[in-house]
Amino acid sequence: MQPTTTFTRILVIGAGAMGSQIALTAALAGYTTAVHDVSAHRLDDAAAQLYERTNKLVKSGKLAAEQAERAHQQLEFSADLEAVAPYADFVIEAATEQLEIKKAIFARLGQLTPPHAILATNSSTIGSSAVAQASGRPDQVCNMHFFNPVLVMECVEVVRHAGTSQATVDTTLELAQRLGKTPVLINREVPGFVANRLMGALQKEALALLAGGVASMTDIDATAKMALRHPMGPFELMDLVGLDVVEHIAQATYAATGDPADCPDESVAALVRAGKLGRKSGAGWYSYTL
């Protein structure tokens, strides 16, 4: 059966920072949205955090109270996948970045969701071809990669694998637009897709300049902002993304390419080992007040 664009129910797998924000974005766009996670505690935390987030948006005047209330009415949180998957028209998987876990999820989704449902992964490092066969409907599988923070970032990378149907691509692009995002289509799987490859190239050069004593970290960041008009410098961006995430992306890229040039940077790895993960931990390249 061909995928359809006339759907109303979205299922998000994973109640972490990405999954919960994707779900809220879908609910704000008017979709009935279920959030599934194996951890009931994580689901409770996600629901509380989303209420806190929308309350802040309402207080700042960025969101009407009525819109926030309607969005929360559209949201459902469930630890029982069998209770929510049969009603999903479109699934966005945002679980942990471990291939075997994702394969198991897509196998269950293939069994539990309606035949027309599209199954997308939000992964920034694992191409959908790695999980497509497990679903039993590889032509209806693709990457739909959002960026953190989802409620703010406009871009969504839609990545097709060799077997993704054009109908699946078109539907996913259309959904991204309905969610208020601007999709970019990536026609071939490459490690890191587009955004992470561009970010990685800039970070690699910034790290080399710092290691070589060419310029200080703060001056490299200042140059990126003032000369290139970037909203933040590469070291500031690494801290925002999370140095553990930066290292994970580098590890995944190196595993895929085997190119020594893609090896994770030791200075980043050292910060991660020290528990300095960036803004979320209070320290990374810079120090922050939590």
Catalytic residues: 124, 145, 157, 196
Supply the DSSP string of the chain, one letter for each residue: ----S---EEEEE--SHHHHHHHHHHHHTT-EEEEE-S-HHHHHHHHHHHHHHHHHHHHTTSS-HHHHHHHHHHEEEES-HHHHGGG-SEEEE---S-HHHHHHHHHHHHHHS-TT-EEEE--SSS-THHHHHHHT-GGGEEEEE--SSTTT--EEEEE--TT--HHHHHHHHHHHHHTT-EEEEE-S--TTTTHHHHHHHHHHHHHHHHHTTSS-HHHHHHHHHHTS--SS-HHHHHHHH-HHHHHHHHHHHHHHH--GGGSPPHHHHHHHHTT--BGGGTBSSSB---
